[in-house]
């Protein structure tokens, strides 16, 4: 039976009952899909009990973004977790950000550029809430999807810099049959937009093949052109970067990553792949 808990005090009390077993945390914003379920399944390989947090974090959305529209499907989420999560932590905004809350965690390093160029508020919101969730649950391991690759690197840096006693595990992206990366925001897509969205992963794969034999900037420019042609309404970036630091690179001598953010209609999608 999954326990549903809404306060940090109750979470700590419930976790104290489970000691000395190992716990894993899967932080989510709900609207769970198979990608989230795979994070929970992976967590079970590393610990005895899994805590899934469900919290649509207001501080990682800018005022013009989709905080209000973000899908909230708690009942369906709880059904999906019934066999796998020991605890679902679903706090209110007031529980996470009590009156007078005045602390923000800013992570440098891998947060520079890419998402930050288009969502400057985003990583401070993520780092602050992730730190709060990690400190509330004090898990042995915490799982983050590679789909949000820059976020994964930012969380790793946060944990390393603050010496938080948790191991961060990155989990490969789960994809639909046509390769579209699973995302809660895919629910926004009309049938036509969904068809266009499927081109993103194909164009990234083609760009990786081109990058192996050409100048990296030319490969990125070719990807942007292909995305426009495929019907995307906006391309925020396509970038080939060092896989560990996200630094700019000009050759593929070290492990690299291609990362992209696009819009189809008004829905923003991100994806990335190892090179």
Distance CA 128, CA 67 (A): 17
Residue 49 β-bridge partners = 23
- For the CB of residue 119, give the shortest distance to ligand PAF in the complex, in Å: 11
CB 139 within 8 Å of CB 166: yes
Q: Which position among 42, 77, 115, 148 is part of the footprint of ligand PAF (CB under 6 A)? A: 148
Window 250-269: contact mask with ligand PAF (x via CB under 6 A): --------------------
Q: DSSP secondary-structure letter at 64?
A: T
36 is catalytic: yes
Region binding ligand PAF by CB under 6 A among candidate stretches 27-35, 99-107, 174-182, 199-207: 27-35
d(CA 154, CA 147): 13
Nearer Cβ to ligand PAF (124/275):
124
CB closer to ligand PAF out of 141 and 216: 141
Residue 126: which H helix or E strand, with range? helix 122-137
Q: Is 124 in the site for ligand PAF (CB under 6 A)?
A: no
Q: What character string, x for contact with ligand PAF (CB under 6 A) and - otherwise, covers 45-84?
A: ------------x--x------------------------
Residues in contact with 141: Cβ distance below 8 Å, sequence separation at least 6, in sequence order: 22, 24, 25, 43, 46, 47, 166, 167, 168, 169
**Which two three-digit tokens encode residue 242?**
């060092």
The distance of closest approach from Cβ of residue 57 to ligand PAF in the complex, given in angstroms and rounded to an integer, is 4
The residues that touch ligand PAF, with contacts defined as CB under 6 A, are 27-29, 57, 60, 126, 129-130, 148, 151
């Amino acid at each position: 039976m999954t326990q549903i808990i809404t306060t940090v005090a109750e979470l700590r009390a419930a976790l104290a009952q489970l000691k000395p077993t190992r716990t894993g945390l899967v932080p989510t914003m709900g609207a769970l899909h198979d990608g989230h379920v795979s994070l929970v399944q992976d967590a079970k390989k590393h610990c005895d009990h899994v805590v899934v947090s469900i919290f649509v974090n207001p501080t990682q959305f800018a005022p013009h973004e989709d905080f209000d529209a973000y899908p909230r499907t708690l009942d369906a989420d709880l059904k999906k977790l019934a066999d796998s999560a020991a605890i679902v932590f679903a706090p209110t905004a007031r529980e996470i950000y009590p009156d007078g809350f005045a602390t923000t965690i800013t992570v440098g390093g891998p947060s520079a550029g890419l998402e930050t160029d288009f969502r400057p508020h985003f990583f401070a919101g993520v780092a602050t809430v992730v730190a709060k969730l990690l400190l509330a649950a004090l898990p042995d391991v915490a799982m983050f999807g590679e789909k949000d690759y820059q976020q994964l690197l930012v969380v790793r840096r946060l944990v390393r810099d603050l010496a938080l006693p948790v191991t961060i595990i990155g989990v490969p992206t789960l994809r639909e049959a046509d390769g579209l990366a699973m995302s809660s925001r895919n629910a926004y897509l009309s049938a036509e937009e969904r068809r266009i969205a499927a081109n993103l992963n194909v164009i990234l794969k083609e760009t990786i093949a081109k990058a192996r034999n050409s100048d990296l900037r030319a490969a990125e420019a070719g990807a942007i052109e292909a995305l426009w042609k495929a019907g995307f309404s906006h391309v925020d970036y396509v970038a080939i970067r060092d896989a560990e630091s996200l630094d700019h690179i000009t050759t593929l001598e070290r492990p690299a990553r291609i990362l992209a953010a696009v819009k189809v209609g008004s829905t923003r999608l991100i994806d990335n792949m190892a090179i």
